[in-house]
């Protein structure tokens, strides 16, 4: 039987319940799911790649068939190297669509063997993004509904200027 590997790429700066929902659903569909932190030169990140990987490890240790990785390069190359057939992305709103559509077509052009699969966000996470978590957390708001308890204190202390960077 053919074993299918999927990747869930993103910045995960930091991982939220929205990401976790997409990762869980991907894990139930594919034999192996690689969650990959993409080092995007365009995006200024708050957390280091190591910190993001560590938060992901802590947050999804209970989900089966998962590997966690980071990559500094093109997603199309990553999928080739790892023989991944599917890129799983979450779609929140129409605002995500144009960018994601362009990325999907570009990735297809660069690697014909990979398909992009869009999963509709779960309704309760429709508004949720890493930047919203950072905004609320840095202004003293409660982010417990948005991120797992095991990484909550770390996020808050980093947003308030403690730790590395």
Least Cβ distance, residue 43 to ligand ADP (angstroms) = 8
Give the DSSP H or E segment for 157. Answer: helix 149-159
* Residues lying near ligand ADP in the complex (CB under 6 A): 10-12, 16, 18-19, 22, 89-90, 92, 96, 121, 125, 128-130
Q: Which tokens is 99 given?
A: 């960018």
Whether 152 is a known active-site residue: answer: no
Catalytic residue among 11, 27, 59, 130: 130
Q: Residue 18: name the closest of 89, 121, 95, 142 by CA.
A: 121
Q: By C-beta, is 132 or 156 nearer to ligand ADP? A: 132
CA atoms within 13 A on the CB side of 22: 27
Whether 89 is a known active-site residue: answer: no
Q: Residue 25: name the closest of 84, 88, 113 by CA.
A: 88
Catalytic residue among 19, 89, 134, 158: 19
> Hey, which residues are catalytic here?
19, 43, 92, 130
């Amino acid at each position: 039987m053919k074993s299918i590997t999927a990747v869930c790429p993103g910045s995960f700066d930091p991982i939220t319940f929205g990401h976790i929902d997409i990762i869980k659903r991907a894990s139930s569909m594919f034999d192996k799911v690689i969650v990959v932190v993409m080092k995007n030169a365009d995006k200024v990140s708050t957390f280091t790649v190591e910190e993001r990987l560590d938060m992901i490890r802590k947050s999804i240790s209970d989900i089966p068939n998962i590997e966690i990785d980071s990559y500094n390069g093109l997603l199309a190359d990553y999928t080739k190297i790892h023989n991944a057939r599917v890129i799983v992305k979450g779609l929140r709103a129409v605002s995500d669509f144009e960018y994601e559509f362009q990325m999907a077509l570009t990735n297809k052009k660069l690697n014909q063997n990979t398909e992009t699969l869009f999963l509709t966000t779960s309704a309760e996470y429709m508004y949720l993004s890493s930047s919203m978590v950072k905004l609320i957390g840095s202004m003293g708001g409660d982010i417990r509904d948005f991120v797992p308890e095991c990484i909550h204190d770390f996020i808050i202390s980093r947003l308030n200027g403690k730790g590395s960077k």
